[in-house]
A = this chain, B = another copy of it.
Amino acid sequence: MSIRHGLLALLERGQMYGYQLRAAFEESTGSTWPLNIGQVYTTLARLERDGLVRSLPESEAGQRPYTITDAGRADLALWFATPISRTDRPRDELAIKLALALTTPGVDVRAVVQNQRTATMRTLQELTRLKYASDRPEDLPWRLVLDAMVFQAEAEIRWLDHCETSLVRYRPAPEPGGRAAAQPTEARWDGEEARR
């Protein structure tokens, strides 16, 4: 629901049309997350269907501006007033990957951790480089977005290190017989282990 409310917030500043909305969205986050133009139009259509925006008559240059409605303003206010909870965040692909790597035969978990660590370190350097590239005080929103990514990358590094030490202590030998794809007859996960 991020883009819906993002467009609503931009329309709260005044009427705008699709192309403008994309530019404003990308500018407010420093082009960190490029926004496909097609999604802007489909999202605008859905917002209009739901009564949160209203499309104005096409301008002389062929642009179709939109305005936010009262219902849209209420929805936006609710979005700003409601904190983002843990349950409506997307799945953490890295965590899933590592958790599954631990129980998948033939996977070098240490290597996965190490590869990810160097990649994340590289990202972190790139982010700090970007951070000090522009120091204009009016870029506060963009710099906060950058800081969010920096903080998150640092947390990821810490977590990866934590994983590595946990691995050493708990998993000296993951599977004593090597590749364990040898039970052909029946599946090994028959549900009674699935409930903890």
Residues of A within 8 A of B (CB): 1-3, 5-6, 9-10, 12-17, 19-20, 23-24, 26-30, 33, 65, 76, 79-86, 89-107, 111-112, 115-116, 118-120, 123, 126, 134, 137, 140-145, 147-149, 151-156, 158-159, 162-163, 166, 170-171, 180-181, 183, 187-191, 193-196
Contacts and interface: CB of A to CB of B under 8 A. Distances in A.
Contacts of A151: 155-156, 158-159, 162
A142 to B, nearest CB: 7
Please list the 5 inter-chain residue pairs (A to B) with the smallest Cβ-Cβ separation, ordered nearest first: A83-B119, A155-B155, A23-B194, A99-B141, A95-B148
A97 B119 contact: no
A67 to B, nearest CB: 10
Contacts of A12: 104-106, 181
Contact of A23 (B134, B145, B191): B191
A126 B86 CA distance: 10
B141 A187 contact: no
A186 B20 CA distance: 12
Contact of A147 (B16, B145, B162, B196): B162
Contacts of A102: 140-141, 144
13 contacts: A2-B97, A6-B100, A12-B104, A13-B103, A13-B180, A19-B191, A27-B196, A28-B99, A86-B123, A99-B144, A99-B145, A140-B166, A151-B159
